Chain A
Amino acid sequence: MNPAGPSSSSATRATRNWARLSTTVFLAGFVSAILLVRQIPPAPVFSPQLRRANYWQSYESAYFASLRAYEQPIHDLLRDGYIPIVVFGDSSIRGTGAVGDAVWTRQLEQRLQAVNARVRVVNYAQNAGDLMGPFLFHHLQAKFPAAYYIVQWHFSSEVGVRHPFHMWLTSEIALRDGDNNPAVHHSFKIVPVTSPEERYTFVLAGLDILTHYLDAGNWIRYRWLGRPLVNSNRQVEIQPLSEAAESDVTMDKFIPPTTAGTADQMSGFFLAHLGARHTYIQRPWQERAAYFEEMYPSRLRSHLLVLSGDFNPYYAPHQDATAMNIWRTIWDQLRADMARIPNLRWVSYSGSNGLMQVEDFIDLGHMTPHGQQRVAEAVAGNLLGKGGWFDPANPGAEKLPEIMAGRWCETRSLRPYQMEPFRLMAPRPSRFYSTYGPALYGEFYFAHPDTRLRFQVTAGHHVLRTSAHFNPAAYEHLPAVEATDGVQLEVALLSTDGHRSVVYDRTIDPLNRPADRVILPVEVAFDVSPGAEIEVFVGPGKSGQSNRDWVYLGPLTIQ
């Protein structure tokens, strides 16, 4: 029996219960915080305007894009009906040396889009990224088998070395995929985990899987604390990475090594790679074929292009003729080897096969914009050629997009990419007819006759606002018979009983009426009965001809 009596005992019990309860509530708060951070979506791998990582949005400035962040853009593109082509590689594949549309992946995208408008090239290449590329390729390929992949491969990549730069990602991929990922299987077999640093990254990767803490940190840098910047008043300010512009500079000249130290360093790179190539090529053919089957299995090759860049033969080592000859011989041998691997789509850009000239390189491996253009051409030629990814004659190839010309289309059944021409209309049409298909040129919708845009709005009073203008090339410096005869622009209300009442009607005839050669504002007010539709109609001019009827509508609103 308790000597202090029953009331003291119940007080102790109450204190103990209270302590237990408050600990539980504390832990609940702790777990809630973790669960809350877990809900954070992945922070972008790169700013949308760049379409590749810049220095500030890469691991070189401690921006560690999470594995989820690499998955998200591919997921979104596939969901919206686009065809992603995902590129992995090092800084030369990244396109260091060019900016904006001069980057080879952008040029490739433009070339492929001329055949299939749904293509989007995603450039995931980064410095030393050729070592990480196979890890990411297999991880993403298993998740998104419908996407296409371009993976840089060269001799040293096949050794399976994991650079400390990439360990936060390679360790997470190893934890998530295990031996199911051929790159993980191969790499950890060849190079076992021995360093404490790598063990540590496994702990961090595990914590990221549990908490998504990298995304939380990356969002802070993406939205607020991005990079230090000296402004025009010579004051330091912090710029969010979401606003960071291209920090690369264009380098369009071959720069020979200026000092003996640089020459030695480049020579060292060259000879190290030469050694790796030599080791690779010395191995029996069966072994090498087995390696390719393991790392790039036949079943994946329909959606895979292996891209090999070569070091600039004009750069280093300058005087070592023997090394240069070995290098050329090995490259020839590799080409013969690659041709023996069935169904392997392989493009090599090299000085030794005549594709690249000295002016195509900046230094040992980075390319000038001109060199990048050559690579884009070579890759596009492979992908668009006979049996390519976008060859309509190839049974396995991606089909061309559905034609939206010359028929009525209901917009609710269209994919986001098909709706792009209407992105400056609010509301967007519920259906449309376009003889030549819808198109957007900058801020203007191309409304070549016949164009019929049908809108559904709530009953009541509304005002439609837009503008109309002609492309001067339709009437300037042309014989009258070849110029446009103008167009008819109409706004009509279609009631549920089929009655059509025109509320706005005018012709635009820039050839004969100089006043029609400007951007003409259009503003129409009307009352809409329940269930009625609004139709914007663009038809041919007075003679019924529609040649050179190149008329554009500005942003359209119905309020």
Chain B
Amino acid sequence: MKQFRQLFLKFCLGMLVGFGCIFIIYCITLPAIPFVYVGF
């Protein structure tokens, strides 16, 4: 039971890291493109 709980926590941690990576990629995309554009 204890082992199962540990494996479950590992799985959750993996998901958390996955979501975190996606969020970090999103955050670094935001300043990748200039914000202000004037013209056509």
- The B1-38 residues at the A interface (CB cut-off 8 A) are 3, 6-7, 10-19, 21-22, 25-26, 29-37
Q: Chain A at the B interface: mostly helix, strand, loop or mixed?
A: helix
- B contact residues around A211 at 8 Å (CB): 22, 25
- A207 at interface by CB-CB < 8 Å: yes
Q: Mark A191-221, 1 if CB is under 8 A from B, else 0.
A: 0000001001100100100010110110000
Cβ–Cβ contact B15 & A214, under 8 A: no
Residues of A within 8 A of B (CB): 18, 21-22, 25-34, 36-37, 59-62, 64, 90-92, 127-128, 130, 164-165, 167-168, 197, 200-201, 204, 207, 211, 213-214, 216-217, 269, 364-365
Residues of B with C-beta under 8 A to A30 = 14-15, 17-18, 21
Contact assessment for A127 and B33 in the assembled complex, using a CB-CB cutoff below 8 Å:
no
Report which of A34, A127, A130 forms a contact with B22, defined as CB distance below 8 A: A34
Q: In the complex, how many residues of chain B place their beta carbon closer than 8 angstroms to a beta carbon of chain A? A: 28
How far does the alpha carbon of A92 sit from the alpha carbon of B39 in the complex, in Å?
A: 10
Query: Chain A residues with Cβ under 8 A from B19's Cβ?
Result: 33, 37
Residues of chain A within 8 A (CB-CB) of B13 are 26, 29
List residues of chain A with CB within 8 A of the CB of B29: 62, 64, 168, 204, 213-214, 217
- Residues of chain A within 8 A (CB-CB) of B18 are 29-34, 37
Residues of A within 8 A of B40 (CB): 90-92, 127-128, 130, 269, 364-365
Find chain B residues with CB under 8 A from A165 CB: 33-34, 37
B37 A214 Cβ-Cβ under 8 A: no
| A60 close to B36 (CB less than 8 A) | yes
Interface centre among B13, B26, B40 (most CB of A within 10 A): B40
Q: Contact at A207–B11, with CB atoms within 8 Å? A: no
Say whether A64 contacts B11, CB under 8 Å: no
Closest to B12 in A: A29
Report whether B32 and A29 are in contact in the complex, using a CB–CB cutoff of 8 Å: no
Is A164 within 8 A of B34, CB to CB?
yes
Q: Which of B11, B13, B26, B39 has the most CB of A within 10 A?
A: B26
Cβ-closest chain B residue relative to A60: B37
9 closest A-B pairs (Cβ-Cβ)? A29-B14, A33-B18, A29-B11, A217-B26, A26-B14, A30-B14, A33-B15, A29-B15, A30-B18
